[in-house]
Chain A
Amino acid sequence: MNSAGRRTRKDSGSGDNSSRTMRTRQDSTIKDINGVLSVRFLDDADALEKICCISKTAPKMSRVGELLRNSQHLISHRAGTPMSVADPDSESEPESPPAQPNAALTELNSAQLEVEDTVRGTAVFGFQRCHRRSHLRRVAEEFAQKSPVKTAAADIKSPGTPRRGCSGLPASIGSGRRGGRRPVSRTVDDRARSRSRSRSPPPARSRSRSKSRSRSRSPPPPQRNGRTPSTPKSAAGRTPQTPRGRASAALPAKTPQTVRRKVKLRLSKLKQEDIAVSDDDDDSDVSPLEDSSEDEYKAPMEEEEDDDEESDEEDEEEEEEQTSTVPPAAVRGRGGAPRRRPELEPAAVSAEDYFSLHSAGGPTSNHTLSRLSEPRLSGAALRALLDARPTDHAAERAALLTDLEIMFPHWLAAVSHGFNILLHGLGSKRDVLERLRRQHLRERLHMVVSGYHPSVTPRQLLLTLLEEALDVPAPPSKLEAQLEAVERRLAAPGAPALFLLVHSIDGPMMRAEKMQYVLARLAQLPRVHLLASADHINSPLVWDQHKLAQFNFLWFDATTLLPYTEETSYENSLLVRQTADLALSSLRHVFKSLTPNARGIFILLAKNQVERASDKTFDGMPLSELYQRCRDAFLVSSQVALRAQLTEFRDHKLIRTRQSHDGVEQLTVPLEAALISEFLASCEDS
Chain B
Amino acid sequence: MATSSLTKSCFVFKPKSGGSSSAALDSSQYFAGLSDDMGIQSAERRSQTFNSTWQTAEKLCTDFQEEMFNTVFHEMIEYLQGSVDIEEDAGIPTATLITGVNMPDHTGVFRSLAERLRAQVTAHVAVLEAASCTTVQATVRAMVRQLTAAGEPLSPDVPVVDEDDEDDCLLDVPDQTSRQRRAPATMPALVAHYEAAQETVASPKKRSPRKRARTAPQRRPLVVVWRDLEAFQPRVLQDLVLICSQYRSRLPISFVFGVSTCASAVHRLLPQHVSARLSLHKFHSQLATHCLAEMIDKVLLSPSMPFRLGGRALRLLLDIFLYHDFSVNNFISAYKFCMLSHFLWSPASALCCEPGQLEERVEELTGAQVAGLRALPSVRAYLDDLEQEERHTLQHDGVFKEWVLHMAPKLHSKHEELLVGLRCLFALTKRLPGALLGKQFREAYNLALLHALPERDEYKRTFQLLNMLSRQELTATLEHALEAVSGSGSALSTLLRTQLDRVRALDDRPTPVSAEESSQQRRLVADTLKQATSRQSLRESLQSMGAARNARLNPYETLRSALLAELDEHLRGLIVQPSKWPFNECVVFDDVSLVRRRLVGAPRSSVQTALADPAKYLQCTCCQLGDAASIRPTMPDLCIVYKLHLECGRLINLFDWMQAFRAVVGASDDDQTIQARFAHCVAELQFLGFIKSTQRKTDHVARLTWGSC
Contact = CB atoms under 8 A, between A and B. Distances in A.
A493 to B, nearest CB: 9
B649 interface: yes
B503 to A, nearest CB: 30
A559 B319 CA distance: 27
A381 B675 CA distance: 11
Nearest to A552: B333
A574 B654 contact: yes
A347 B709 contact: yes
B224 to A, nearest CB: 18
Given A443-B15, A478-B165, A545-B103, A127 B593 contact: no
A4 to B, nearest CB: 22
A311 B453 CA distance: 11
Interface stretch (A65-73, A393-401, A637-645): A393-401
B629 interface: yes
Given A289-B596, A445-B14, A450 B679 contact: no
B527 interface: no
A539 B598 CA distance: 16
Contact of B682 (A240, A381, A555, A574): A574
Nearest to A568: B683
Nearest to B51: A417
Given A571-B683, A574-B686, A235 B36 contact: no
A424 interface: yes
A546 B659 contact: no
Contacts of B600: 287-289, 555
Interface string A461-484: 100110011001011111011001
B270 interface: no
B132 A480 contact: yes
Interface string B550-586: 0000000000000000000000000001010000000
B671 interface: yes
B27 A417 contact: yes
B673 A426 contact: no
A622 interface: no
A93 interface: no
Interface residues on chain A, size class? 35 or more
B605 A344 contact: yes
B103 A319 contact: no
A618 interface: no
Given A240-B627, A545-B104, A474 B172 contact: yes
Interface string B672-709: 11011111101110111110010001111101011111
Given A314-B377, A349-B707, A574-B701, A555 B9 contact: no
A347 B608 CA distance: 8
B360 interface: no
A679 interface: no
B484 interface: no
B249 interface: no
Contacts of B100: none
Interface stretch (A141-149, A162-170, A224-232): A224-232
A415 B708 CA distance: 37
Contacts of A476: 159-161, 165, 168-169
A12 B506 CA distance: 99
B344 A415 contact: no
B15 to A, nearest CB: 5
A342 B672 contact: no
A343 B675 contact: no
A536 interface: yes
B543 interface: no
Nearest to A393: B618
B2 to A, nearest CB: 10
Nearest to B628: A241
A220 B655 CA distance: 24
B679 A444 contact: no
B663 A233 contact: yes
Interface string B656-670: 111110111011011
Nearest to B654: A369
A516 to B, nearest CB: 11
B13 A393 contact: no
Contact of B602 (A288, A314, A444, A561): A288
B676 A381 contact: yes
A410 B164 CA distance: 46
B39 A561 contact: no
A557 B597 contact: yes
A228 B647 CA distance: 19
8 contacts: A308-B456, A315-B579, A346-B605, A393-B614, A442-B16, A492-B156, A497-B21, A563-B684
Given A293-B319, A385-B673, A559-B610, 19 more contacts: A301-B450, A315-B590, A328-B594, A344-B605, A345-B605, A368-B698, A369-B655, A412-B27, A415-B25, A416-B30, A426-B638, A444-B20, A476-B161, A539-B603, A546-B104, A563-B684, A564-B683, A574-B693, A575-B679
Report, nearest first, the 9 A-B pairs whose CB atoms are least far apart: A335-B36, A549-B104, A555-B601, A231-B663, A409-B33, A575-B679, A424-B603, A453-B9, A426-B610
